[in-house]
């Protein structure tokens, strides 16, 4: 999928460069129509420059005198051109290719061969597009994270207050992000609705996408819909569904939200095992978020699913009062 994204960006650059060339050609033709002498000058400059280059390489008889003469002629032509441009108030940019990014001339790489900032931005934009989160991450990210909305009073039989608990989870999540490329851990977030699970998932997604990592957010319900479409309706499957299906396996991070809201049957539990297991083997990370308690999860899913979760997932319980009434509907 990342390769497809890179290819798409390269095609965009190619299109932009082509457009810059075509626009220049159109502008020149407009000028030539208005001032035919400009066309003569440009043609003369082009052919004399070529002759000069050839002479400098071949170094034939009297090449020094000949090249000096050519240089002088070129200089006269160029000053005539600039004189006309000044007189007719034609900006210099009219005779240059105007790129969307002048820094890399729409190639994606600057003069030192380094990746241009525009390339990085395009990559991130595409990663946002395929993540399934897009605009949401502008609002839900660590900058908007505020542990103060969580209560600092003891909650039921929990050892930590909801605030200390969320701070601990945020700290662990930051560690998960910082060492994303080197660790082999996953995370399970469980707890009732409105206690910040999805918000924390989004915070993590934003940080990782900004690092250029391929992230997919999908609810369990939607994910199993995509899988069943792929398995049972392959002939009629849309390209979008094919992409969505491959992303489930290929995304560097899969955020599987609302596990337990899908219809639970042997198909979904087998597929869930395949996803968890394959992603583990290929060292792709997964974050699962669920409203089910651990006991309920064990009753619902097979032992082989649970054993993988217990061994390879860091498990965090979210608890406290529903904070959505205080901070909006998306927690
Ligand atoms: Zn650029």
DSSP string, 271-322: HHHHHHHHHHHTT-EEEEEESS-HHHHHHHS-HHHHHHHHHHEEEEE--SS-
Distance 18 CA to ligand 1 centre (A): 15
Under 8 Å between Cβ of 45 and 71 = no
Distance 110 CA to ligand 1 centre (A): 7
Ligand 1 mean position to 225 CA, how many Å? 39
Read off the pLDDT of each residue in 263-285 and give the average, rounded to a whole number: 93
User: Ligand 1 center to residue 264 CA distance, Å?
Assistant: 48
Asked if the model's pLDDT at residue 275 lies above 70, the reply is yes
pLDDT at 3 over 90: no
**Cβ contacts of 53 within 8 Å, gap of 6 or more:** none
CA of 116 to the centre of ligand 1 (A): 5
* Other CB atoms within 10 Å distance of the CB of residue 152: 11
pTM: 0.74
- Mean pLDDT on 118-137: 82
Q: Look-up: residue for tokens 């420059």? A: 49
CA–centroid distance, residue 7 to ligand 1 (Å): 16
Cα 127 to ligand 1 centre (Å): 18
Assess contact for 318 and 169: CB atoms under 8 A.
Answer: yes
State the distance from the centre of ligand 1 to the C-alpha of 262, rounded, in angstroms: 44
Ligand 1 centroid to residue 118 C-alpha, Å: 4
Q: Record the tokens describing residue 96, joined without a space.
A: 């240059």
Return the percentage of the chain with pLDDT > 90, whole number.
Answer: 64
Band of residue 23 on the pLDDT scale cut at 50, 70, 90:
very high
CA distance linking residue 200 with residue 152, whole number of Å: 19
Give the neighbor-by-neighbor strand order of the sheet with 215-219: 215-219, 253-259, 285-290, 186-190, 313-317
Ligand 1 centroid to 95 CA: how many Å? 21
Is residue 101 over pLDDT 60?
yes
Question: Residue 101 Cα, ligand 1 centroid: separation in angstroms?
Answer: 5
Output the CA 121–ligand 1 centroid distance in Å: 9
Interval between CA 20 and ligand 1 midpoint (Å): 14
**pLDDT at res. 330:** 45
Question: Does 74 have pLDDT greater than 60?
Answer: yes
How far apart are the CA of 303 and the centre of ligand 1, in A? Answer: 51
CA of 85 from ligand 1 middle (Å) equals 29
- For residue 209, the CA-to-ligand 1 centroid distance in Å is 19
pLDDT tens, residue by residue, 213-225: 889 999 999 999 9
Ligand 1 mean position to 93 CA, how many Å?
A: 18
> Which pLDDT score is estimated for 288?
97
166 CA distance to ligand 1 middle (Å): 40
Residue 70 CA to ligand 1 center (angstroms) comes to: 36
Distance, CA 103 to ligand 1 centroid (Å)?
A: 5
Centroid of ligand 1 to alpha carbon of 217 (angstroms): 29
Mean pLDDT of 233-254: 85
């Amino acid at each position: 999928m990342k390769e497809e994204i890179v290819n798409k960006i390269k095609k965009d650059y190619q299109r932009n460069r082509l457009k810059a060339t075509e626009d220049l050609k159109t502008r020149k033709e407009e000028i030539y129509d208005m001032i035919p002498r400009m066309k003569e000058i440009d043609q003369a400059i082009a052919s004399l420059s070529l002759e000069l280059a050839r002479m400098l390489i071949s170094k034939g008889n009297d090449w020094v005198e000949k090249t000096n003469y050519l240089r002088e002629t070129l200089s006269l032509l160029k000053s005539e051109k600039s004189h006309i441009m000044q007189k007719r108030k034609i900006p210099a940019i009219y005779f240059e290719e105007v790129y969307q990014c002048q820094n890399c001339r729409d190639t994606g790489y600057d003069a030192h061969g380094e990746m241009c900032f525009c390339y990085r931005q395009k990559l991130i934009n595409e990663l946002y597009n395929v993540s399934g989160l897009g605009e949401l991450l502008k609002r839900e990210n660590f900058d908007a994270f505020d542990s103060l909305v969580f209560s600092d009073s003891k909650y039921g039989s929990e050892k930590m207050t909801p605030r200390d608990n969320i701070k601990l989870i945020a700290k662990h999540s930051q560690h998960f992000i910082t060492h994303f490329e080197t660790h082999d851990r996953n995370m399970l977030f469980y707890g009732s609705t409105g206690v910040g699970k999805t918000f924390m998932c989004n915070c993590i997604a934003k940080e990782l996408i900004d690092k250029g990592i391929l992230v997919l957010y999908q609810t369990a319900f939607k994910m199993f819909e995509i899988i069943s479409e792929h398995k049972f309706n392959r002939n009629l499957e849309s390209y979008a569904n094919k992409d969505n299906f491959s992303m489930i396996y290929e995304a560097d991070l899969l955020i599987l939200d609302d596990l337990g809201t899908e219809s639970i049957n042997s198909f979904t539990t087998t597929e869930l095992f395949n996803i968890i297991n394959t992603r583990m083997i290929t060292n792709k990370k997964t974050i699962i978020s669920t409203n089910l308690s651990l006991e309920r999860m064990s009753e619902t899913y097979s032992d082989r699913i649970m054993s993988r979760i217990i061994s390879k997932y860091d498990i965090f319980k979210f608890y406290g009062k529903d904070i959505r009434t205080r901070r909006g509907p998306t927690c």
